[in-house]
Structure 1
């Protein structure tokens, strides 16, 4: 009897311990699911943040380009302060862009990590589900009166399932690593999910009577492949959504940049037209600027460079636009040959103009050419038959006229450097510059259209706000400013009175009796702490003084925000919000952003095709069968009722006992010998004239052919 009692106690102990283990495994699923829910919320926040950062980054990029253009357009006339201010704005725009780019990169990486964490927790939760389910299915077979044989059988079964699961984990890791190495991470994920499901199914089948290990493995493997295929498709779907959303944003950004650049170019050219009318006259300026655009299009010099050189030349050669074009060609060839910048060429043009207008060829003017590699002294020496020493002596005595020297320099540059700009235009830098000029012309067309039409609106605004409406808005703005100043003054008065009452014992005019009592209490506490600190230097007393000071500030703020005037304004704000809500509730404007986001959330299935496997490829390798989601589609339709047509080579399918697979030639022969009949029933055709008969017939034929080509019989 004692032995029997011992056996019963052992059995109960084993059952109790197993029940606790099962409960522990089952309860462990909840934290995983909770973690997944939390990760999903984090992922939603990260996705929204990433979308907003993309918008901010686009705006920052536009601001950076605008700042860069403004900095590049500073001419020689700009002083150091203007250059420093423009450089500071450019640096700030660069820092802002880089900061946003780093934030977007960080958020994107965190979103990807969160997604991976969700997938990993999902795998763990699934395995725990399998373990808890398999343990729980056999946990109830024993009872308090069961014998040791039942317990041994239960333990053996659970042990077998546990060992199988442990072996499965190892096999899954090894196989997943090998498949990933051979076909990529997507194929490895699908294969690993399938193997995990098969092993978990086998474990369940080995425990539950009537299922069997093989059947459980088959069902688990199919479900695992289904899950893995879903994950693979989700990855492709996310990539597709991100790609086409990027293309959309790229198009919008490009259009915005083109408009901004074109508008600025068109505005500058409008100013150039006015300026050159003054320099060259109304009749010559239009033709001259057109020639400049042509010259810019075929040389490395940009249009803005040529207008700068033109302004420099106009003071000395403004009476002859044709001569100005010749000089720019000569100076441009010389500058291109010796490798100087457009700013250097502008300085040479200015020196040439000053020589011609002043009638003096000074060493100061000639050194501008010499310092940049253009041998002006040598040209004068060769043309005048003098040594360079004699030329220097003549220059110092003022014996060489400025106009004469300008003619010699022009001829010398044309002779020595002719064609240099054309040769430079064929280099990479030259082609880049020419392309920029070409694109500037394209952008300018958009800018001219925008500026011309927008100018009408600007003039209308000027006319409107310069009149009665402007006066009314001006008065409202003045009142709004007064209101804001009044509130700020009132808040400062609350703070001044509170600090005066506590620190100095002054009376208050704004505070209610209960707040005055609180201020008096703080005054007493402050005085006591202050006296203690003055006498002993106690740090605790000093901390009390600081605390009272902070509490007084907080009380002042709260009293101010509780005042009648502040509450009235707060009520006005609430009424404004309610009124706006009522005004816009029937308008679809609020859906604009929502619809845009919802449209960008649509993926491959919204295009009518969830897989790219049938896009013309005649052979799909094993890795692509996993990665392109074909297995996922096949599992949704396992063809238990037949498959009319295999869509592409390498198509993976689940076949069933008793089914028959025909070769392509056999299928074609069968279709020729037994054409599928077509029956049209349940339709009503309205024939109003004879042509309707042919129209209905053509439509039916077209739809039947489309159905046949799609594999529908």
Structure 2
């Protein structure tokens, strides 16, 4: 980066004073122009490199944006450290690319600014030199030519590109700005290059450059659109995959929980009764703002007191649901009220503890008891304290009171946004549950098969193999540690080794001598000797590692790993599984061009003469070979009639007539042709009809080929 920016800055610093010092010396001026031309060529090359680099960075940024989006989806789904790390890496890469793009643009801008300033001084110096030498025309033309050769047009084009990108892009948007700015920039560059040939060359260069700029801008717009197209449908594909996976995960969990619910409620309410009750519960959940899971919790609370009357349980839950919806309590509050009613019914006691569960949540059960029993609330409290109110009677009164006071509250709440949201969630849960039931029912067969297999002889065999594998791992770790222990023992204690060959033992003995010498020096107060001792220790450990990884045992392990990789490669070659992922990625990399190609190859199914696609679809033509046979096949004797629009291969000296000319020729050739056969050269055994047919075939081919007529 620093090299590119330095090219023009150095050019400006060195050439500018020289230009200012020119006082009419043509030789000095020409020399300066030559140096300037070479420097400007270097600038042009640097700017081209920077522009290409910017294009590459933009492409990387587009690809990185897709990676960031995919990483965000993965982290949102998995919520684990691996996906978080991948997301962090993608964001870091995006930050790096953005910073590098900003730095590159800054360099391009800095070069352009320096170039503009230099151009002003060149123009000024040229004017001064022309006046002094009375060669204004030659000087001006030479300078402009030099600047044109050196890439001055590119500098002007860059400036126009920057201005138009800002102004036109603001008015027309990114694509419009890119298209017009590309055309203008190329037109200016073309005009500058054409200026070497005079005004006409300038005009032609500008037109050609503008046309090329339009083409380049159009191609870039198409590339941008195509990338957006691919990213869009890739997101649609991934979203569909994610939705299916989420539906399966949620549905499997729901179906699994409902399977457990069925077992529990069949035990609570009776075999078969529990299944029907849960079915009714799902209907209630779908029609009310209550969640199915909340209703099952309330049902478990009620089952201990009303398990012999499932219909009553549904009535009580409706009453509690209406009351809870009216006073605005949570599902857990409603479950607590259900527990209180169940305990009063099963115990036969209406205690203040149970009744306060309702009172504390805004349901005035004391008032309900007071009204139903014709007592004041004070008298009701007195009766409660003396246990004079039967629990079952209290439940009946409270149920009737809630049904009277709060009936229809759940239906009203179900029409609110919150209620509709809850109802929709229940509906979607039913949809997911269908997928989950299908998966779980069939998957249970596979799970049972795995349990049977791995719990039997196969499991015993795998356990034995795993035990051996564990022993292998331990053996190699022990061996590695033994190499290290022996090397350190030889260095620090002077002990003999059992694993190292003689050459390495000799090296360890030499290291031992160095270690003893360093140890003695350290004892004498030489601090640097301590560094030597630590260095020898690290050297011994490195020697141990190298010896271990060169051992026969390690080589055997390494060879087995290589054999495994080779075997997997052979297996991969033998099957086509690897192609699936490759072909899927290839399909996902296709853009709008693939759609156009499909239109050409497949065509319109309703059009019987729809080119390539129709030929492929025809049952009597098995492959594209037949198509190319029709297009490029030989018709050495001509064709009676061109059957369809298309390409046809012609031979030398053959002619093609228009449809009108062919019709006129056919009409003219419709005269009677009389043939007299004097001698039968076709064979005595041929009939007259056979001879006539043979002649007709020959004449038809001759006429078609244009030989007769």
Cα distance between partner residues in 2 of 1:296 and 1:534: 85
Q: Which of 565, 571, 589 in structure 1 is aligned with 2:553?
A: 565
Kept in 2: contact 1:205–1:217 (CA 8 A): yes
Cα distance between partner residues in 1 of 2:55 and 2:210: 27
Per-residue deviation, residues 580-634 of structure 1 (Å, max 9, x unmatched)? 1112213221122222222222112222199xxxxxxxxxxxxxxxxxxxxxxxx
SS in 1 for 2:281: helix
**Cα gap change, 1:96 to 1:294, in 2 (>3 Å):** farther
Kept in 2: contact 1:277–1:285 (CA 8 A): yes
Cα distance between partner residues in 1 of 2:153 and 2:49: 28
Q: How does 1:494-505 map to 2 (within 5 A)?
A: 494-505=483-494
Q: Which of 419, 441, 446 in structure 1 is aligned with 2:408?
A: 419
Kept in 2: contact 1:14–1:151 (CA 8 A): no
Aligned residue in 2 for 1:582: 570
Q: How does 1:13-24 map to 2 (within 5 A)?
A: 16-24=31-39
Cα distance between partner residues in 2 of 1:322 and 1:25: 94
Q: After superposing the two structures, state which structure 1 stretch, 392-401 or 242-251, moved more.
A: 392-401
**Cα gap change, 1:169 to 1:257, in 2 (>3 Å):** closer
Q: Which of 141, 144, 148 in structure 2 is aligned with 1:157?
A: 144
Cα distance between partner residues in 1 of 2:268 and 2:575: 55
C-alpha displacement of 1:279: 0.5
C-alpha displacement of 1:221: 0.9
Tell me the matched-pair count: 566
Q: After superposing the two structures, state which structure 1 stretch, 468-477 or 415-424, moved more.
A: 468-477
Per-residue deviation, residues 522-569 of structure 1 (Å, max 9, x unmatched)? 44455555555566483x455444444444433333322222111101
**Cα gap change, 1:224 to 1:281, in 2 (>3 Å):** same
Kept in 2: contact 1:29–1:125 (CA 8 A): no
Kept in 1: contact 2:479–2:548 (CA 8 A): yes
Aligned residue in 1 for 2:688: none
* Ranges in structure 1 where 5+ consecutive residues have no aligned partner: 1-6, 65-92, 136-146, 611-678, 686-713
Aligned residue in 2 for 1:553: 541
**Cα gap change, 1:215 to 1:278, in 2 (>3 Å):** same
Cα distance between partner residues in 2 of 1:181 and 1:42: 23
SS in 2 for 1:372: coil
Q: Which of 366, 370, 387 in structure 2 is aligned with 1:398?
A: 387
Aligned residue in 2 for 1:331: 320
Aligned residue in 2 for 1:640: none
C-alpha displacement of 1:187: 1.1
**Cα gap change, 1:550 to 1:31, in 2 (>3 Å):** farther
Q: Which of 591, 597, 614 in structure 2 is aligned with 1:603?
A: 591
C-alpha displacement of 1:350: 1.5
Kept in 2: contact 1:259–1:446 (CA 8 A): yes
Question: Is the radius of gyration larger for structure 1 or structure 2?
Answer: 2
SS in 2 for 1:361: coil
**Cα gap change, 1:47 to 1:288, in 2 (>3 Å):** same
**Cα gap change, 1:329 to 1:463, in 2 (>3 Å):** same
SS in 1 for 2:500: coil
Cα distance between partner residues in 2 of 1:521 and 1:303: 80
Q: How does 1:501-516 map to 2 (within 5 A)?
A: 501-516=490-505
Cα distance between partner residues in 2 of 1:53 and 1:563: 46
Kept in 1: contact 2:157–2:186 (CA 8 A): no
Kept in 1: contact 2:50–2:108 (CA 8 A): no
Aligned residue in 1 for 2:13: none
C-alpha displacement of 1:401: 2.3
Cα distance between partner residues in 1 of 2:640 and 2:358: 91
Cα distance between partner residues in 1 of 2:67 and 2:165: 37
Q: CA RMSD in A?
A: 4.0
Aligned residue in 2 for 1:284: 273
- Please tell me whether residue 212 in structure 1 is matched to residue 201 in structure 2: yes
Q: How does 1:33-48 map to 2 (within 5 A)?
A: none
TM-score, with structure 2 as normaliser: 0.71
**Cα gap change, 1:469 to 1:366, in 2 (>3 Å):** same
SS in 2 for 1:590: helix
Cα distance between partner residues in 2 of 1:345 and 1:491: 65
Per-residue deviation, residues 471-503 of structure 1 (Å, max 9, x unmatched)? 222222221122122222222222333333334
- Please tell me whether residue 61 in structure 1 is matched to residue 76 in structure 2: yes
Cα distance between partner residues in 1 of 2:545 and 2:241: 46
C-alpha displacement of 1:456: 1.8
Q: How does 1:662-681 map to 2 (within 5 A)?
A: none
Aligned residue in 2 for 1:444: 433
**Cα gap change, 1:118 to 1:165, in 2 (>3 Å):** closer
Kept in 1: contact 2:234–2:588 (CA 8 A): yes
Cα distance between partner residues in 2 of 1:327 and 1:238: 60
* Ranges in structure 2 where 5+ consecutive residues have no aligned partner: 1-21, 123-133, 599-638, 646-709
Kept in 2: contact 1:127–1:200 (CA 8 A): no
Q: Which of 209, 219, 225 in structure 2 is aligned with 1:230?
A: 219
Cα distance between partner residues in 2 of 1:537 and 1:584: 63
**Cα gap change, 1:168 to 1:108, in 2 (>3 Å):** closer
Kept in 2: contact 1:258–1:446 (CA 8 A): yes
Q: How does 1:252-267 map to 2 (within 5 A)?
A: 252-267=241-256
Per-residue deviation, residues 341-399 of structure 1 (Å, max 9, x unmatched)? 21222122122212211222222222222332222333333333333333333333322
Cα distance between partner residues in 2 of 1:475 and 1:49: 47
Cα distance between partner residues in 1 of 2:438 and 2:234: 28
**Cα gap change, 1:514 to 1:583, in 2 (>3 Å):** same
C-alpha displacement of 1:217: 0.8
Kept in 1: contact 2:327–2:363 (CA 8 A): yes
Kept in 2: contact 1:43–1:114 (CA 8 A): no
